[in-house]
A and B are shown apart, each in its own frame.
Chain A
């Protein structure tokens, strides 16, 4: 196991978590995805500094790291909003009304998948399938899952949660 020469991009203590994840894998190049997971879990997204850090710690070319970070949908290079709303667009959810939920979010919040409201309050994402097809259509707000939602249910549900935040 070679110790990395790379220093983290800042003094933020949370970099220790990322370093620990890479150390656990012996700074092997194949731990790249694990390392990126740890960055995203810690900071919420991947920025150039973190990609650069991971690249130098794992001795990987920058373009290879960027290529991997953009290949996988799970990773995001943009900071997410304070809240995220994930609409499942799996098959069961699609035929049970996910398109109407997305239409509502565009109508009410002006959001298309992948976008964040201008104030950074809410991000909209889609998931291929969250595996809760029995509850279709399904939405995950932050980590809370709600199923069998009509567009109207979703509108009220989100209003409640965002209003709670405002208080």
Chain B
């Protein structure tokens, strides 16, 4: 990987970067906000939520900044009327997909989806809500999985596979029917591979995964451990 120093422009600002960095990393280092939900420092990026799309001069399409590497002389725009509109619509799609009842959610006030809606000034969801009937899996002695609040970002799947090494989580089905599962789609509490480490809970951006016993608005997530664990792994 080319790791030489590169210079690029983000929103008209000249910034320097290592060649192996992504646009998102460089933007965040420079205090430029780009929204994202599936990206989490320390996990492999998947480019799935599409919130971090940016305009790159000369590129025919919008590019996901979480996986797009910087290039010398690149000109990146992270905010535009079009990007704002698309991002709001993507958030709306997420809100309309399942049952996100913020007011009674265990993560109310600590939720990244809710937080982004506020930050991106989303005042309502104009797509019709779908209201699927989805289960809550509370079979685990310490944790709860609420599929109503899941946005399929797969952070849990990745942290479990890449950091914990258990690969308890994966995704089943496809399309609008896709769902996260543990082992053979069995109750989490019966999972043979789960180590009960709780990393999935703390990387989950919403109230989908939470600690048991938490009441409404009580589930604040702790993520500080992740970059540390990633560093430990890569240096090993």
Chain A residues proximal to chain B, CB less than 8 Å: 48, 51-52, 61-67, 70-71
Contacts and interface: CB of A to CB of B under 8 A. Distances in A.
- Give the 10 A-B CB pairs with smallest separation, nearest first: A63-B170, A61-B167, A67-B170, A62-B183, A70-B172, A66-B184, A70-B173, A62-B184, A64-B170, A67-B172
A61 B184 contact: no
Contacts of A64: 167, 170
B173 A63 contact: no
23 contacts: A51-B184, A61-B161, A61-B166, A61-B167, A61-B183, A61-B193, A63-B167, A63-B168, A63-B169, A63-B170, A63-B181, A63-B183, A63-B184, A64-B167, A64-B170, A66-B172, A66-B181, A66-B183, A67-B181, A70-B172, A70-B185, A71-B172, A71-B173
Nearest to B157: A63
A63 B182 contact: yes
A66 B174 contact: no
B184 A67 contact: no
A71 B178 CA distance: 9
Given A61-B193, A71-B174, A66 B185 contact: yes
Interface of A is mostly: helix
Nearest to A64: B170
A62 B167 CA distance: 8
Nearest to B161: A61
Interface in B180-236: 181-185, 192-193
A59 to B, nearest CB: 11
Nearest to A52: B184
Contacts of A70: 172-174, 185
Contacts of A52: 184
Contacts of A71: 172-174
Contacts of A67: 170-172, 181
Contact of A66 (B161, B170, B192): B170
A63 to B, nearest CB: 3
Among B172, B174, B182, B184, the most chain A Cβ lie within 10 Å of the Cβ of: B184
Interface in B139-171: 161, 166-171
Nearest to A67: B170
B137 to A, nearest CB: 14
B113 to A, nearest CB: 24
A52 B184 CA distance: 8
A120 to B, nearest CB: 23
Contacts of B168: 61, 63
A67 B192 CA distance: 16
B64 to A, nearest CB: 22
Contacts of B193: 61-63
